[in-house]
């Protein structure tokens, strides 16, 4: 009797199991779609799209997890190669090559590939970063770019007519805007220069280097995926730029100091009059310095005029069992109302040229430099580089250490040696990664 009961129970359980397995097999649109975000501030756009997605896939559960950016990149790097990780990938352009070069991304469906390759919809510079030899591996979604933030009240007090238009004006204005105590120490920085954290430091030095020379420090090599370092080719200009930084951090022309509250926090605090930073700083200053009156302007020009961009790319994990729902979610995210949410909630600028954000700009004029097109103002981006973070961090460490060296004041030979050290640091890392192009 007992044995018969156990047998009957076992058979029923097996039947139930088989039935649910058959149901799942018959309905491929059930399960869980996993999305991980390194920029949690874009989460509202994903959540806003959930009802529309649910109408398409009522049996698919969507899990959206946000992490700190570095943690996110670390988790992703461990999960995806082992066949795990999220179904829908949100990848920064500098980690993107790791995934397409190692065959971890699904093929972009034809309709989305057509959008990416249409220059009227996505600027070619952004389509290129998401592609390898013309084949897109993801859909560029939003960009972060840099602009000059300036405190309009400080400018008015100093009698300055408007934001600096050239590099020389930027330094001159910084000197005029700097407030010093009677003992010579700086009370308010004319411009808060990026003096800490190698990768970020090199990026901001790189902005001025681009304006001065018309090229980036790291440029694409002749073979896809290879990188060349341009510092040696532009040694005089790079050394002069370094000396300009040193002159404005030491000596009589000093406009900034390491003991001041710096960067976005310094600008939001009124401790600095100018800052070169990305879109997110608008929301940051509004929140942390509500009394600060500020505006944004394109970065100052030198020999060249342009601004650095980084891009968030939407893609799908090749090992995902939810590829179709994931691509459909990406299709949804291209619609105006979700792109509006990205802009409003995060400040990052959507990349679709065929969408209209003028209503947002009217309400939020601080975004002018990020949203308005300026004729002749070039958008540039780092070439795909699998050693990007390491290369910029280590090279930036050398440049930032040189800022502290007062002996480089009016010392062209010393500045050239410092630039060559930075050059060699970059070359060494690229060579080790096997992507150096002489």
- Residues of this chain that interact with another protein (CB under 8 A) are 68, 70, 73-74, 77-78, 80-81, 98-99, 102, 104, 183, 185, 195-198, 200, 257-266, 268-269, 271, 281, 284, 288, 387, 389-390, 393-394, 397, 404, 432
Residue 263 Cβ vs another protein, minimum distance, rounded to whole Å: 5
DSSP-derived letter for residue 102 is T
For another protein, the closer CB: 212 or 386? 386
Distance between CA atoms of residues 5 and 24, nearest Å: 29
- Quick one: which of 261, 279, 285, 437 has its CA closest to 369? 279
Residue 286 Cβ vs another protein, minimum distance, rounded to whole Å: 12
- Quick one: which of 399, 427, 420, 390 has its CA closest to 201? 399
For another protein, the closer CB: 3 or 287? 287
**Buried residues in 332-361 as b, exposed as e (16+ CB within 10 A):** bbbbeebbbbbbebbbbbbbbeeeebeeeb
**Beta-sheet pairing, 31-37 with 60-66:** parallel
- Quick one: which of 367, 379, 52, 298 has its CA closest to 359? 367
Radius of gyration of the chain measured on its C-alpha atoms = 25
For another protein, the closer CB: 394 or 416? 394
For another protein, the closer CB: 303 or 404? 404
Residue 258 Cβ vs another protein, minimum distance, rounded to whole Å: 4
Structure tokens at 179: 């407030």
For another protein, the closer CB: 283 or 361? 283
**Beta-sheet pairing, 88-92 with 60-66:** unpaired
Distance between CA atoms of residues 69 and 200, nearest Å: 14
Residue 409 Cβ vs another protein, minimum distance, rounded to whole Å: 19
For another protein, the closer CB: 112 or 389? 389
- Quick one: which of 419, 400, 423 has its CA closest to 411? 419
Residue 73 Cβ vs another protein, minimum distance, rounded to whole Å: 7
94, 144, 203, 351, 416 from 391: Cα distances, Å: 11, 20, 11, 27, 19
Q: At what angle do helices 412-433 and 235-247 cross, to 10 degrees?
A: 120
For another protein, the closer CB: 201 or 325? 201
* Element holding 228 (H helix, E strand): strand 227-229
For another protein, the closer CB: 225 or 266? 266
Residue 94 Cβ vs another protein, minimum distance, rounded to whole Å: 11
User: What are the beta bridge partners of residue 277?
Assistant: 147
For another protein, the closer CB: 8 or 78? 78
Residue 83 Cβ vs another protein, minimum distance, rounded to whole Å: 12
For another protein, the closer CB: 249 or 339? 249
Distance between CA atoms of residues 308 and 325, nearest Å: 33
Question: DSSP letter string over 291-338?
Answer: T--EEEEPPPBSSS-EEEEEEEEEEEBTT-S-HHHHHHHHHHTTSHHH
Structure tokens at 420: 């060559």
Residue 265 Cβ vs another protein, minimum distance, rounded to whole Å: 4
Residue 273 Cβ vs another protein, minimum distance, rounded to whole Å: 15
Residue 77 Cβ vs another protein, minimum distance, rounded to whole Å: 5
Residue 31 Cβ vs another protein, minimum distance, rounded to whole Å: 26
For another protein, the closer CB: 85 or 325? 85
Please check whether residue 435 is in contact with residue 226, taking contact to mean a CB–CB distance below 8 angstroms: yes
């Amino acid at each position: 009797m007992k044995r018969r009961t156990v047998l009957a129970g076992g058979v029923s359980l097996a039947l139930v199991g088989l039935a649910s397995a058959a149901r799942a097999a018959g309905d491929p649109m059930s399960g869980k779609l996993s999305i991980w975000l390194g920029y949690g501030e874009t989460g509202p756009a994903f959540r806003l799209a959930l009802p529309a997605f649910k109408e398409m896939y009522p049996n698919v559960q969507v899990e959206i997890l946000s992490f700190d950016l570095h943690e996110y990149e670390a988790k992703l790097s461990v999960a995806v190669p082992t066949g795990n990780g999220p179904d829908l990938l949100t990848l920064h352009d500098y980690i993107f090559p790791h995934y397409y070069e190692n065959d971890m991304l699904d093929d972009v469906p034809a309709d989305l590939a057509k959008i990416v390759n249409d220059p009227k919809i996505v600027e070619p510079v952004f389509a290129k970063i998401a592609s390898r030899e013309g084949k897109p591996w993801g859909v560029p979604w939003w960009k972060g770019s840099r602009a000059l933030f300036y405190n309009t009240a400080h400018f008015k007090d100093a009698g300055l007519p408007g934001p600096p238009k050239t590099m020389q004006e930027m330094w001159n204005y910084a000197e005029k805007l700097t407030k010093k105590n009677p003992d010579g120490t700086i009370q308010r920085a004319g411009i808060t220069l990026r003096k800490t954290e190698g990768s970020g430091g090199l990026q901001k030095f790189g902005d001025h280097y681009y304006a001065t020379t018309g090229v980036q420090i790291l440029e694409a090599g002749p073979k896809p995926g290879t990188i060349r370092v341009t510092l040696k080719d532009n040694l005089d200009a790079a050394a002069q730029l370094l000396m300009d930084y040193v002159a404005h951090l030491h000596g009589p022309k000093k406009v900034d100091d390491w003991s001041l509250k710096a960067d976005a926090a310094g600008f939001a605090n009124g401790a600095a009059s100018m800052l070169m930073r990305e879109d997110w700083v608008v929301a940051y200053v509004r929140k942390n310095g509500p009394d600060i009156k500020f505006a944004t302007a394109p970065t100052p020009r030198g020999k060249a005029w342009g601004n650095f961009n980084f891009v968030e790319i939407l893609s799908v994990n090749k090992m995902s069992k939810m590829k179709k729902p994931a691509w459909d979610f990406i299709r949804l995210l291209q619609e105006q109302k979700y792109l509006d949410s990205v802009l409003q909630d995060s400040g990052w600028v959507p990349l679709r040229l065929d969408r209209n954000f003028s209503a947002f700009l009217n309400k939020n004029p601080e975004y002018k430099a990020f949203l308005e097109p300026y004729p002749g103002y070039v958008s540039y981006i780092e070439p795909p580089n699998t050693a990007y973070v390491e290369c910029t961090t280590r090279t930036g460490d050398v440049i930032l250490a040189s800022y502290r060296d007062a002996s480089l004041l009016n010392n062209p030979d010393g500045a050239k040696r410092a630039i060559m050290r930075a050059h060699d640091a970059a070359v060494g890392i690229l060579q080790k990664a096997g992507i150096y192009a002489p």
